[in-house]
């Protein structure tokens, strides 16, 4: 099986998507370590190469972050490129959608779109893995990411053996679908301390944009 992985994150090789791919391939590599290609859509000048890589693959996994309930623009451009050239050719097509939202409900709508897209392109739809709460994994301590990384490693190993996503692991990853009332209450209390905005505020300060965090230029 020739596996091609398309990373649709605008952050390129500094993305959380890249980390999840690496963990997936750790497991995948235990069974199959050859015929693997990885392409980064952030290299937009290579969009034709990305589309041709899709055309030449047997199985394609497209991973991307959910940005405010939408896919990144580079992912949409890639989809339009492969659809326009009719590169489906009954190949196997699967997806991994990750986001900073803790609840998987935010991603189920794009999941429906991806399934319909695969069918319209005459691809075999493998399924969609959804994982929320991914933003920040690059700075989290090991004890906070070990379960996530283990699940992705096991997911990759199972995929190498069967060519399919393990349904049990997929269900674990998309939990919680919605936050419980108790968790929501705890989140609201924590937000009052400023801890919930620590990561975002640190990035705003890093890029000298903290003072403009409430800007509304189109209002």
- What is the tens place of the pLDDT at every residue in 45-75? 999 999 999 999 999 999 999 987 789 999 9
> Is the pLDDT assigned to residue 77 strictly greater than 80?
yes
Q: What is the pLDDT of residue 90?
A: 79
* Domain 3-178, CATH homologous superfamily name and number: Flavodoxin domain (3.40.50.360)
Identify the band that residue 188 occupies on the pLDDT scale cut at 50, 70 and 90. Answer: confident
Q: What is the pLDDT of residue 146?
A: 96
6: DSSP letter: E
Adjacent-strand bridge partners of 38? 5
Question: CA end-to-end span of the chain, whole Å?
Answer: 51
pTM of the model: 0.88
Report, as an integer, the average pLDDT of 171-192. Answer: 80
* 193 prior amide bond cis, ω within 30: no
**Residue 47 in tokens:** 């969009």
SS3 139: coil
**Residue 216 in tokens:** 């509304």
CB 31 within 8 A of CB 64: no
Strand segments, DSSP code E, in 30-172 are: 36-40, 59-65, 92-98, 124-131
Q: Where in the chain is the domain with CATH 3.40.50.360?
A: 3-178
Each residue's pLDDT tens digit, 106-131: 999 999 999 999 999 999 999 999 99
Report, as an integer, the average pLDDT of 157-182. Answer: 92
């Amino acid at each position: 099986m020739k596996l091609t992985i398309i990373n649709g994150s605008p952050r390129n090789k500094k993305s959380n998507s890249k980390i999840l791919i690496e963990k997936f391939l750790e497991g995948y590599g235990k069974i199959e370590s050859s015929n693997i290609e990885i392409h980064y859509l952030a290299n937009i000048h290579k969009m034709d190469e990305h589309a041709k890589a899709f055309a030449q693959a047997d199985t394609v996994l497209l991973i991307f972050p959910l940005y405010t309930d939408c896919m990144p623009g580079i992912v949409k451009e890639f989809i339009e490129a492969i659809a326009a050239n009719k590169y489906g050719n009954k190949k196997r097509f699967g997806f991994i959608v990750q986001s900073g939202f803790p609840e998987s409900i935010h991603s189920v709508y794009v999941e429906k779109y991806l399934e319909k897209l695969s069918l319209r392109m005459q691809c075999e739809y493998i399924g969609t893995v959804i994982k929320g709460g991914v933003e920040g994994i690059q700075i989290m301590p090991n004890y906070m990411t070990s379960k996530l990384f283990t699940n992705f490693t096991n997911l990759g190993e199972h995929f190498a053996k069967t060519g399919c996503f393990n349904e049990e692991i997929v269900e674990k990853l998309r939990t919680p679908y919605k936050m419980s009332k108790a968790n929501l209450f705890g989140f609201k209390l924590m937000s009052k301390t400023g801890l919930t905005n620590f990561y975002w505020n640190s990035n705003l300060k890093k890029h000298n944009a903290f003072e403009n965090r409430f800007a509304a230029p189109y209002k």
